[in-house]
A = this chain, B = another copy of it.
Amino acid sequence: MVHRLKIIIPINNDSLNEITAKELLPLESRDFELDIHNLTSGPNFIENRFSDYIAHPALIDAATAAEEEGYSGIFVDCFTDPAVDIMREMVDMPVVGAFLPAVLTASSLCQRYSIITVLPEVVPIYEQLSRESGIRGSVVSIRNIGTHVADLGDSENLVENLFTQCLAAVEEGAQGVVLGCTGMLGVTDFLRQRLLDNGFSIPVINPTKCGVAMLMALVRQGLTHSRITYPRHSP
């Protein structure tokens, strides 16, 4: 049996579709079909609470459509987990964002870790999500590289900036790092290698991969969210 997963990049353009597909190649499995979609409305990029909110209408529509389309699970490919809580109220299949799977995976591989995100403006969003999810005590720091999502395409620069923040995080006590933006694509292996070359063998958690991998794990196990936590609601 093949499970179809709906992967939604919650921005109004397809600029990340191909590179995201490439990032997910290592997760390819004959048991899963990964369909990547962007939104036709919503924000250019999500860099604050308002643009996160702007993505909600199309995300909620996509969720309710997914049931009819026969999907087995939904991955909202953004580190702010936009609308995930609302979508869980509306569908029975598992819905995951990128934040929660990433930090829980980090919790499985080390005791304390840092999140490295794009801009200071989004740091409070991850402070909030860290508190909500109950893992705040394991987060050493939420650092940023001072780069807009639109400018993440320069891979070499991105790896260097991430590397600099990783060193600062390790200095503070981090034993692993979570990349805090799903637009940080194509760099995990290079960053991991850069760290290894400098004597740091620590996990570098990629939230896009983590989200899909956790969704696959849930689907295989027939697990979905609690209806006590997310009571069923039909729009």
| Minimum CB distance partner of A109 in chain B | B225
Check if A128 is an interface residue, CB within 8 A of chain B: yes
How many chain A residues touch B (Cβ–Cβ < 8 Å)?
Answer: 75
Q: Does A157 contact B (CB under 8 A)?
A: no
Contact call B213/A110, Cβ cutoff below 8 A: no
CA distance A173 to B141 in the complex (A): 9
A107-B134, A134-B107, A229-B111 given as contacts; is B50 within 8 A of A90 (CB)?
yes
One complex includes copies of this chain to the number of 6
**Majority secondary structure, A binding face:** helix
- Of the candidates B26, B30, B56, which one forms a contact with A220 in the assembled complex, judged by CB atoms under 8 Å apart? B26
For residues 116 through 149 of chain A, which have their beta carbon under 8 Å from a beta carbon of chain B? 120-121, 124, 127-128, 131-138, 141
Binding site for B on A (CB under 8 A): 26-27, 29-31, 48-51, 53, 56, 60, 83, 85-86, 89-90, 94, 96, 100-101, 104-105, 107-112, 120-121, 124, 127-128, 131-138, 141, 170, 173, 175-176, 189, 200-203, 205-206, 209-210, 213-214, 216-218, 220-231, 233, 235
